[in-house]
Amino acid sequence: MKFQPVIGLEVHTQLKTGSKIFCGCSTTFGSEPNSQTCPVCLGLPGALPVLNKKVVEFAIKAGLATNCIIAHHSVFARKNYFYPDLPKGYQISQLEEPICRKGWLDIQLEGQEAKRIGITRIHMEEDAGKLVHGDVPGLDDGSGVDLNRACTPLLEVVSEPDLRSSDEAVAYLKRLHRIVTWLGICDGNMEEGSFRCDANISVMPVGSDTLGTRAEIKNVNSFKFVKQAIDYEIQRQIALIEDGGSVVQETRLFDPNSGTTRSMRSKEEAHDYRYFPDPDLVPLVIDADWVQHAHKELPELPEHRRQRFITELGLPEYDAEVLTASRGVADYFEECVAFHHNAKAVSNWLMSEVTRALNDSGAAIDACPVIPSQLAELIKMIDKGAISGKIAKTVFEEMWKNGGEPQAIVEKRGLAQVSDSGAIEAIIDEVIAANMAQVEEFRGGKEKVLGFFVGLVMKASRGKANPALVNELLLAKLKVQ
């Protein structure tokens, strides 16, 4: 019997606000444990929550960017459960009336048609604290509770069970990750837990329309681990069914060291959490003007920008995809093109030299020491024949390390390209005279030897000779018997 996986994802996106969702405490990551708390996020008696308006604004933008309906009337609810990192004994979330619903995102795997993945809902909620196991000062063998994260604002994005493979799941996650970071509402740092997901997975016989029993894998925080966890869980469930067993509805954890999932607890249902409207928070009313204002503030979204780069600037699909991986890179690219219209040349430099330098230094594009106008001027000098591509890399390194304008660096270091045919011919004559054996090889039909001569001429000119002119003059002289 063949089986079909059915996958739905619940993505927790930590919002990039300066303060928490229901109090004024800082959301800065990595601070001293329990240093960013107050009576509200500690759940002390008598403390009352006050909704952070910025959280609502971010939620509306996320909903608009994922084609959701924005609810005019939305309600916060209490989700009751007891765990050491949840001091109130409940989490403030949303259930029956979330802020966003009925959205979708399109994904496309290589060689396949685009597929639409439904989004059931996006709701606002607070994060819980964090248990720290081991290496806790003063505890020989125990766990500590850090409540800095308690009350940090989250958006939970719940997909429909429309995904049918781990590759589709990763494509969906990457698309959503790109959107929330593009909007600037989430830093997207998966290692710090800013973007993490729970994967609901079941299998059913191919051709069946009856869903199987699902297991939920909690808190997976990398695209690689999501793929590994889903693939393992699919095979585990299939093997279990084929051996005559049955899948149990439960919550499982993924162990990246072994590449396996293990049982954590039986899976709760909504009624187990005893949801009810939070009496301390009035219903949230969002009027049309608020939504319209949020819509006007939306930047051009990555998919639209990608298509524009292809249709208006003539970029290949691959280039457009890479350049719209982040909003910062896309902005930098467009600023360069505004100064020099050779979009493909700008793209090539961004995807090679600039990216390499950024990776080596660990810097983000926002901190790139070579500003767009300078990179554009450097590429313009190549296109005009003022410098060669090889010399341009040397100039770029100088700009990166010490700053300065490309023209000034070229003049100061004497790097201007030599296009004087007389000067180049003199170098060529010396090279040919010193390598007559290779000359005979070329004249005997071994045309690859031309590259040998080009290399010697470029070396003798310290990379400054015009490559096109070198090739032209070399061919003319080598063919003369």
Q: Tokens representing 51?
A: 């909704």
Which among 213, 184, 217 is positioned nearest to 200, based on CA atoms? 217
pLDDT at residue number 458: 81
Q: Rounded to whole angstroms, how far apart are CA atoms 4 and 403?
A: 57
Query: 282 vs 136, which has greater pLDDT?
Result: 282
Which residues are bridge partners to 431 per DSSP? none
Integer-rounded Cα Rg, in Å, for the chain is: 30
pLDDT at residue number 481: 54
Length of the chain: 481
Phi, psi of 138 (to 5 degrees): 90, -10
Amino acid at 247: V
pLDDT at residue number 64: 98
Query: 404 vs 416, which has greater pLDDT?
Result: 404
Q: Rounded to whole angstroms, how far apart are CA atoms 194 and 205?
A: 36
pLDDT 10s digits, 425-434: 888 888 888 8
Residue 326 and residue 181 in contact, taking contact as beta carbons nearer than 8 Å: yes
Residue 182 DSSP symbol: H
Domains observed in the chain: 3-289 (no CATH), 300-412 (no CATH), 421-479 (1.10.10.410)
Query: 461 vs 13, which has greater pLDDT?
Result: 13
Q: Kindly tell me if the per-residue pLDDT of 352 is higher than 90.
A: yes
Q: Rounded to whole angstroms, how far apart are CA atoms 117 and 161?
A: 8
Query: Angle 327-339/372-384 helices, nearest 10 degrees?
Result: 50
Q: Kindly tell me if the per-residue pLDDT of 191 is higher than 60.
A: yes
Residues in CB range of 81: below 8 A, 6 or more apart: 89, 90, 91, 268, 273
Element (H, E) at 93: strand 90-93
Phi, psi of 11 (to 5 degrees): -105, 125
Confidence of residue 417 (pLDDT cuts 50, 70, 90): low
pLDDT at residue number 91: 96
pLDDT at residue number 480: 64
Specify the 3-state DSSP secondary structure of 49: coil
Report the chain's mean pLDDT, rounded to a whole number: 92
How confident is the model over 60-80, as a mean pLDDT? 97
Alpha-helical segments (H) within 184-273: 223-242
Alpha-helical segments (H) within 243-367: 288-297, 302-311, 317-323, 327-339, 343-349, 355-361
Q: What is the pairing mode between strands 215-220 and 284-285?
A: unpaired
pLDDT at residue number 299: 96
Q: Angle at the Cα of 133 (from 263 to 152), degrees rounded to 5?
A: 90
* Percentage of residues in the chain having pLDDT higher than 90: 75
Chain-centre distance for alpha carbon 126:
24
Q: Rounded to whole angstroms, how far apart are CA atoms 238 and 4?
A: 9
Residue 358 and residue 368 in contact, taking contact as beta carbons nearer than 8 Å: yes
Q: Rounded to whole angstroms, how far apart are CA atoms 456 and 454?
A: 5
Residues in CB range of 436: below 8 A, 6 or more apart: none
Which among 7, 308, 325 is positioned nearest to 177, based on CA atoms? 325
Range with top average pLDDT, 263-272, 293-302, 384-393: 293-302
Q: Rounded to whole angstroms, how far apart are CA atoms 462 and 458?
A: 6
Q: Kindly tell me if the per-residue pLDDT of 353 is higher than 80.
A: yes
pLDDT 10s digits, 245-291: 999 999 999 999 999 999 988 766 767 889 999 999 999 999 999 99
pLDDT at residue number 418: 64
DSSP letters, 59-84, are: HHHHHHHTTPEEPSEE--EEEE---T
Confidence of residue 34 (pLDDT cuts 50, 70, 90): very high
Q: Angle at the Cα of 397 (from 391 to 398), degrees rounded to 5?
A: 95
pLDDT 10s digits, 100-128: 999 999 999 988 999 999 999 999 999 99
Amino acid at 187: D
For the CA atoms of 323, 327, 330, 335, what is the dihedral angle to 10 degrees?
Answer: -160
Which residues are bridge partners to 154 per DSSP? 14, 125
Q: Angle at the Cα of 296 (from 295 to 298), degrees rounded to 5?
A: 65
Confidence of residue 389 (pLDDT cuts 50, 70, 90): confident
Could you tell me the CA-to-CA distances from 86 to 30, 134, 149, 218, 407 in Å, in that order? 19, 19, 10, 17, 61
Specify the 3-state DSSP secondary structure of 51: coil
Residues in CB range of 289: below 8 A, 6 or more apart: none
Q: What is the pairing mode between strands 215-220 and 250-255?
A: parallel
Specify the 3-state DSSP secondary structure of 350: helix
pLDDT at residue number 72: 97
How confident is the model over 73-92, as a mean pLDDT? 93
Phi, psi of 90 (to 5 degrees): -155, 160
Which residues are bridge partners to 131 per DSSP? 145
pLDDT 10s digits, 139-180: 777 788 999 999 999 999 999 999 999 999 999 999 999 999
